[in-house]
Amino acid sequence: MDILDDILDTLNLKGVLYFRTDFSDRWAVTVPDLEQAARFHLVVQGSTHVQFSDGSSVRLGPGDLVLIPRGRSHILADQACTSAPDLETVLSDVGYDGQGVLAVGAGDKDASTQMVCGHFVFRPGADHPLLRALPDYLVTTASMRAREPWLDEMLRVLVRRAFSAEMGSAASVTRLSEIVFIELLRVGVSQSPQLASVLEAFQDKQIGRALQVIHGAPAETWTVERLASEVGMSRSRFAERFRQLMGTGPMAYLSDWRLQKALSLLEGSQCSMQEVASRSGYQSSAAFSRAFSGKFGVAPSAYRRAQA
């Protein structure tokens, strides 16, 4: 089983392209918070200064990309600044209707800043150690791309399709961006020890095997002892190693993952509550409802109605 594929599929990863930009003259825009999302900005031409509310910042040049995993608010500008008009105001001022290129200013085309901007969304309630391990932002520079030919080629294709008017270009960009997200996680391990640890767990001979059996049969009556035996480790050593790599214990991981599978079933199937409970590893609907409500603050039936 491909654990990462199962995780992203269950969390319902989807890529969304929201605009291409052509910014010239002096420009700045405040991008708002977006829950359950990871924003990205890829600079095609020119340069961009990205400023966060905590004072941290990063400068991007041609070919550079920043991924902002938790969708937190930030300022995009041609130079460092601490305030800027919000995105909705900028869109309204230029009369942008959501189609084509978001053009701001009327300067020299050759000197303007062009970007591809989009985001990745996850279903409401989506959670996993992988997402928790992501830093506030990940930067992939042009020089890093040169060492990662697969990622570099995907980004080049994404840019070509994003600037194409051909039928199906938007759909292609959406699908390509989802592949890019996975590649960015792999490349970003050098910027986040926590992310490196989680991805190491996926490939670890024993912990990776334990994750495979959990993801392959989450409704099984797994115990720490049974999982340890499955991978040929002592109970104590297995629990210690699992927590060391994943940042959580095996039983806590299993409980949380069962509820993530339940979210997926509630949103994407017509299963009865009893069947959702059973397939998620709960012996009764009542036990499932208590666990679900305790985690998400809403009953499973109410969650399903809201998503419908």
3-state secondary structure the chain: CCHHHHHHHHCCCEEEEEEEEEECCCCEEEECCCCCEEEEEEEEECCEEEEECCCCEEEECCCCEEEECCCCCEEEECCCCCCCCEHHHHHHHHCCCCCCEEEECCCCHHHCEEEEEEEEECCCCCCCHHHHCCCCCEEECHHHHHCCHHHHHHHHHHHHHHCCCCCCHHHHHHHHHHHHHHHHHHHHHHHCHHHHHHHHHHHCCCHHHHHHHHHHCCCCCCCHHHHHHHHCCCHHHHHHHHHHHHCCCHHHHHHHHHHHHHHHHHHHCCCCHHHHHHHCCCCCHHHHHHHHHHHHCCCHHHHHHHHC
Task: Please state, as a whole number, how many other Cβ atoms lie within 10 Å of the Cβ of residue 289.
Answer: 16
pLDDT of residue 276: 95
pLDDT band (50, 70, 90) for residue 168:
low
Query: Once rounded to an integer, what is the mean pLDDT over residues 261-288?
Result: 92
pLDDT of residue 236: 97
pLDDT of residue 100: 73
pLDDT band (50, 70, 90) for residue 18:
confident
pLDDT band (50, 70, 90) for residue 1:
low
Q: pTM to 2 decimals?
A: 0.88
pLDDT band (50, 70, 90) for residue 89:
very high
Rounded Cα distance, 115 and 103, in Å: 11
Q: What is the pLDDT of residues 193-232, one digit of tens each?
A: 999 999 999 999 999 999 999 999 999 999 999 999 999 9
**Pairing label, strands 37-45, 113-121:** antiparallel
Question: Does residue 11 register a pLDDT over 80?
Answer: yes
Q: Do domains 3-189 and 204-307 have the same CATH topology?
A: no
pLDDT of residue 28: 93
pLDDT band (50, 70, 90) for residue 184:
very high
pLDDT of residue 36: 87
**What is the topology classification, in CATH, of domain 3-189?**
Jelly Rolls (2.60.120)
pLDDT of residue 52: 93
The answer to whether domain 204-307 has CATH 3.40.50.150 is no
Look-up of token digits 């419908």: 308
Question: Does residue 20 register a pLDDT over 90?
Answer: no
Rounded Cα distance, 232 and 227, in Å: 9
The residues spanned by each domain of the chain are: 3-189, 204-307
Q: What is the spatial order of strands in the sheet that 48-52 belongs to?
A: 28-31, 74-77, 48-52, 57-60
Question: Does residue 274 register a pLDDT over 80?
Answer: yes
Q: What is the pLDDT of residues 99-146, one digit of tens each?
A: 777 888 766 666 689 999 989 999 989 999 999 999 999 999 999 999
pLDDT of residue 175: 81
pLDDT band (50, 70, 90) for residue 17:
confident
pLDDT of residue 245: 98
pLDDT of residue 19: 82
| Residue count of the chain | 308
Measure the N-to-C terminal CA separation of the chain; round to a whole number of Å: 30
pLDDT of residue 107: 60
pLDDT of residue 170: 74
pLDDT band (50, 70, 90) for residue 240:
very high
Report whether 243 contacts 232 (CB < 8 A): no
92-96-97 Cα angle (round to 5): 115
pLDDT band (50, 70, 90) for residue 293:
very high
Rounded Cα distance, 158 and 204, in Å: 32
Q: Percentage of the chain with pLDDT > 70?
A: 97
